[in-house]
Amino acid sequence: MSFDLLAPHYRWMEFVLAGDKLQRCRTAFLDRVAESRKILILGEGNGRFLRECRRKSPHAKITCVDASARMLALARERAGRGAGREPIDFVCADALAWTPPESGFDLIVTHFFLDCFQAGQLESLVAKLADAAAPGANWLLADFQSATAGWQRYRSRLILWMMYRFFRVVTRLPATALISPDVFLERNGFKLRAREVRDWGLLHSDWWQHDG
């Protein structure tokens, strides 16, 4: 799976297809975790969330992992530099093969990322990230979902069907359908603190917290 081909076009594609909806999902609970000091971000893409995260938590140590070298270059450029800010550790790696070099992250972020994986991959990945989390750590995620009823349900299913087929062709996405990570998060000691649903049930933003 690689988003290198899409990297130069991702920003305008997101704007045309969704306006600012995805960014609002990414930042929905950012104020709640602004005191974080050790942050792990996976699948960041071109750095729009990273820039806001660094602005809210300028002294946090941030590790940013993405399999796309082109996306990481965009994220590095967008994050910029600033006096008194901790340097960001940019890691180009496949999240499934990558092992966190240390534990104790008090914030884990996986926006529009966990939907890329099959169930078995997702279960393994969530467990690995949970092992790298500090007791009481926060986990922010934003993602797509299927609405539960009415025309919203048919709309969301059609959009998801088109998305998965597009991304499987362009990025070799391993997933063929959306798998909710909720059960895996709960199994690894995380509890849902808050959830916001947007765009007629298609999008959601979550704030999870470790029960340790």
Burial of 180: CB neighbours in 10 Å, binned 0-12, 13-18, 19+: middle
3-state secondary structure of 7: helix
Please tell me the distance from the alpha carbon of residue 55 to that of residue 209, in angstroms, as a whole number.
Answer: 22
Residue 170: band (very low, low, confident or very high) from pLDDT cuts 50, 70, 90: confident
Report the distance separating Cα 79 and Cα 83, nearest Å.
13
Specify the amino acid at residue 203. L
Asked whether the predicted pLDDT for residue 4 surpasses 90, the reply is: no
pLDDT of residue 83: 44
On the question of pLDDT at 188 being above 60, the answer is: yes
Fold of 7-210: Rossmann fold (3.40.50)
Helix (H) or strand (E) segment spanning residue 127: helix 119-131
pLDDT tens digits, one per residue of 11-58: 877 877 788 999 999 999 999 999 999 999 999 999 999 999 999 999
**203-210, strands of its sheet edge to edge:** 89-92, 61-66, 38-42, 105-109, 133-144, 203-210, 190-198
Which tokens belong to 162? 């088109």
Q: Which pLDDT tens digit goes with each residue over 115-137?
A: 999 999 999 999 999 999 999 99
Report the percent of the chain where pLDDT is more than 90.
Answer: 79
| The token pair that represents 164 in the structure block | 């998965």
pLDDT in tens, 94-104: 999 999 988 89
Contact 156, 146 (CB under 8 A): yes
Q: What is the mean pLDDT of residues 108-112?
A: 98
Rounded to the nearest 10 degrees, what angle do helices 69-79 and 48-56 cross at? 40
Residue 81: pLDDT band by 50, 70, 90 thresholds? low
List the beta bridge partners of residue 63. 40, 89
Q: What span, in angstroms and rounded, lies between the C-alpha atoms of 58 and 180?
A: 32
Greater model confidence, 193 or 4: 193
Q: Which of 138, 134, 130, 140 is nearest to 188 (CA)?
A: 130
Give the Å distances, CA to CA, from 36 to 31, 39, 55, 140.
10, 7, 12, 12
- What's the confidence (pLDDT) of residue 212? 74
